[in-house]
Amino acid sequence: MALSRNFKETMKARAARDPAFRVALLGEAVEAFAAGDADTGKTLIRDYINATVGFDQLGEAVSIDPKNLMRMFGPRGNPRLTNLSAVLRELNRREAVHLKVEPERLAG
């Protein structure tokens, strides 16, 4: 039987060695939220946080209890826009990127 790594460990290792992967993961989360797919957005943000900064350190940076952050980005979480904005602003700052949403015309 082949040995495999835990998903969280794999994500953390990839995020540690690949800045482009971290930025892409964060970008995909923002795109999911902008497209109205909050469940996917929350999952991607949660994966990003677990693989990089961690909920304790992020909570301290944005003045939100880490347990509240975990619930917010959990399957039944419902982040308020002010909290989501604070989290995204901090994650963008840590990655030294500026993510933006641009309109795209739909065909038809």
Number of domains making up the chain: 1
Report whether 59 contacts 65 (CB < 8 A).
Answer: yes
Position 104 scores a pLDDT of: 76
Measured from the Cβ of residue 47, the count of other Cβ atoms closer than 10 Å reads: 19
Q: Is the pLDDT of residue 1 over 60?
A: no
Position 67 scores a pLDDT of: 97
76, part of any domain: yes
102, part of any domain: no
40, part of any domain: yes
Average pLDDT over residues 61-90: 95
Rounded to two decimals, the pTM is 0.85
Domain with 74, as residue range(s), is 8-95
pLDDT above 70 coverage of the chain, percent = 94
Q: What torsion do the CA atoms of 9, 14, 19, 21 make, to the nearest 10 degrees? A: -100
Position 87 scores a pLDDT of: 96
- Phi/psi for 101 (5° steps) reads -105, 130
107, part of any domain: no
